[in-house]
Amino acid sequence: MSTILDPVTDLDTTDTPSTTGRPRWPLFGALAGVTALAAAFTGMPADLTEEDWSSGPEVLDLLDRGNYHVAFILGLVSVAALLITASAWRRWAERNAPDDLAARTIPTALAATAAMNILGYSLMGSMALYLPGGVDEGWLSREAMFVNFTLLDFGVLLGWWGGLVAAGCVASLAFRKDRVLPRWMGVASVLLMLPPVAMALIMALPGMPGFTMPIWLTVVSVGMVLSRTAARR
């Protein structure tokens, strides 16, 4: 009897415990977290003094367009990986907790983070484009460039408030009696949520999630690959 192969089924790379043992899709989450941190630390100038920050458009003379260019590329990789991760979490929720509000919120929160982050990374791209040495050097006034620079003070960090919501949902799934995620993921989520929440309440600091939530996403993503609780689902 001849066997008819379905090309769509043949090319299906969905991860199921019966075929792969451990899921591979969370690795996109780890990639998103690592590249997001790399983009932030590369594109945000760390060697500027307080006087430099308050000097107005003159601060543009101290910036390195190359760093913005690299950060822009890293950011695009992060956004792409984050969108794939959001889709994978949606599939995970449909399989494991289709009626659970927390599970269904995780992919929405991560997609919101990706959508917000693309704005910040695009601003970094514009800095690389218009700063001296860029393809369109001189097309924007220094005042306009300074506006972009000011927006980037927190520009690539703000979107990770969506990641914080996702972390809260993971904690909910881990701490409940009929938990569908390992308990340690809940502990890690709470610990990494506390600094940005505390800073927001005490100091009105909006950017801290951009440093802690990529770490959270990386840790939880690796955990989804290695954890027995996650692997059996």
Please give the pLDDT value at position 229: 63
Please give the pLDDT value at position 2: 40
CA distances 42 to 29, 47, 137, Å, are 20, 11, 21
Please give the pLDDT value at position 7: 37
Model pTM? Answer: 0.87
Residues 97, 103 contacting (CB under 8 angstroms): yes
Q: Spell out, as residue ranges, where the chain has pLDDT lower than 70.
A: 1-21, 228-233
Helix then strand count (H, E) for the chain reads 11, 0
Please give the pLDDT value at position 74: 98
Characterize 107-136 residue by residue with b for buried, 16 or more Cβ atoms within 10 angstroms of its Cβ, and e for exposed: bbbbbbbbebbbebbbbbbbbbbbbeebee
pLDDT in tens, 79-90: 999 999 999 999
pLDDT in tens, 186-221: 999 999 999 999 999 999 999 999 999 999 999 999
